């Protein structure tokens, strides 16, 4: 997995060479294992069919890579098989050589809520924590960042990114299949951090926000999106077991609680730019998603509640400045 180390070196972090080597060595051991379906996913990438040099258009809802005329019909059929071998696709949509790839989340809806509120990314270093297949990373391309580093510990999502990047070949996008605890500490490095759909999965949200703040330059911008509960008090819901069938959900805050966490961890100028309930237009089953999605996780008697009886998903988009 030498491309992992080369990507790390290309980030311009020579002063962290030893830590990066340690990180990439750990990741290489994970990627070279035959655990679960990892061997299959590696073979999928190795079997990707050829195509003419592809143009990337990240300006519309779908991240478009190439056109139908850039790939032969029999190769397109092989590409569809490769895409299917990497199901479930969670974040999208994409269009690869005329193949529409609709994922469980219509992530363009979330991007539309956000895009007019983001500060300039031109020439900036961007960190996308919990980046999934990299949809938002590709959407950032039109804003001309210097570099975007995405991390996500789910190996399947890493291989989904590699499938798209195999043809897109975006030179300023980097991806490490790792969690925050797996990578070296970044200090005063990133101009903008995206932290979308992650904080409620963290057992210690305040420690996580403090780690993100440390990675950012003073004045840097944090973009955080999270499940929330209604209320004016600085409190959080802590599900007894699962929330909407998800076992790894810990703290779902009110906006007031989230603001308190941010202030405690040296963020200011906190702005809520959107609050929206999650609907079946945004999260649903598709030919490339898993079998279950939002509708299966809501109470059939009362869709305003999850199947466990908690309030149905509502999400807030919040911006903050590192101080």
Q: Which domain holds residue 125?
A: 2-322
pLDDT tens digit sequence for 100-115: 999 999 999 999 999 9
Is 319 in contact with 271 (CB distance < 8 Å)? Answer: yes
pLDDT at residue number 13: 54
Distance CA 210, CA 270 (A): 15
pLDDT, position 313: 98
| CATH number of the structural domain spanning residue 124 | 3.40.50.150
Q: How far is CA 172 from CA 151, 168, 194, 265, 312, in A?
A: 14, 11, 16, 29, 38
Structure confidence at residue 303 (pLDDT): 95
**191 and 220 Cβ atoms separated by less than 8 Å:** yes
The string of pLDDT tens digits covering residues 90-100 is 999 999 999 99
CA distances, 137 to each of 13, 163, 165, 181, 241 (Å): 20, 14, 11, 21, 32
Tokens of 88: 């479930």
Q: What is the pTM of this model?
A: 0.92
pLDDT for res 183: 80
What pLDDT score was predicted for residue 39? 84
Residues 74, 53: Cα–Cα separation, whole Å? 17
Residues of the chain short of pLDDT 70, as ranges, are 1-36
Per the structure, the count of domains in the chain is 1
Neighbours of 39 (CB within 10 A): 12
Residue 9 has what pLDDT? Answer: 58
pLDDT value, residue 29? 67
Please check whether residue 318 is in contact with residue 272, taking contact to mean a CB–CB distance below 8 angstroms: yes
**Which residues, including other chains, have CB under 8 Å from residue 98's CB and lie 6 or more apart?**
66, 67, 68, 71, 76
What is the structure's pLDDT at 57? 97
pLDDT for res 5: 55
User: Can you read off the two tokens belonging to residue 104?
Assistant: 């469980």
Q: How much of the chain exceeds pLDDT 70, in percent?
A: 89
3-state secondary structure 141-185: HHHCCCEEEEECCCHHHHHHHHHHHHHHCCCCEEEECCCHHHCCC
pLDDT at site 279: 96
Whole-Å CA distances, 1 to 43, 124, 190:
14, 27, 25
């Amino acid at each position: 997995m030498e491309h992992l180390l080369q990507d790390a070196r290309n980030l311009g972090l020579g002063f962290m060479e030893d830590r990066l080597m340690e990180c990439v060595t750990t990741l290489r051991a994970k990627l070279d294992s035959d655990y679960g379906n990892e061997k299959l996913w590696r073979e999928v990438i190795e079997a990707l069919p050829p195509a003419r040099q592809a143009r990337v258009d990240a300006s519309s809802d779908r991240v478009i890579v190439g056109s139908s005329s850039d790939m032969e019909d029999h190769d397109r059929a092989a590409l569809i098989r490769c895409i299917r071998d990497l199901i479930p696709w969670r974040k999208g949509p994409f269009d690869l050589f005329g193949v529409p790839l609709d994922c469980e989340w219509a992530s363009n809806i979330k991007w539309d809520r956000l895009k007019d509120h983001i500060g300039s990314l031109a020439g900036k270093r961007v960190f996308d924590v919990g980046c999934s297949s990299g949809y938002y990373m590709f959407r950032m391309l039109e804003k001309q960042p210097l570099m975007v580093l995405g991390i996500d510990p789910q190996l399947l999502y890493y291989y989904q990114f590699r499938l798209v990047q195999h043809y897109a070949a975006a030179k300023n996008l980097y991806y490490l299949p790792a969690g925050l605890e797996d990578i070296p500490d970044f200090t005063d490095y990133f101009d903008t951090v995206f932290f979308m759909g992650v904080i409620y999965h963290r057992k210690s949200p305040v420690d996580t926000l403090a780690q993100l703040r440390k990675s950012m330059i003073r004045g840097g911008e944090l973009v955080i999106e999270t499940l929330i509960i209604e209320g004016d008090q600085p409190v959080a819901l802590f599900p007894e077991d699962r929330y909407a069938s998800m076992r790894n959900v810990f703290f779902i805050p009110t906006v007031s609680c989230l603001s308190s966490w941010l202030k405690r961890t040296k963020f200011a100028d906190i702005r809520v730019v959107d609050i929206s309930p999650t609907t079946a237009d945004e999260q649903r089953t598709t030919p490339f998603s898993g079998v279950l999605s939002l509708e299966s996780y809501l109470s059939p008697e009362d869709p305003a509640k999850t199947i466990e009886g908690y309030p149905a998903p509502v999400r807030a988009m919040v911006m903050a400045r590192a101080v």
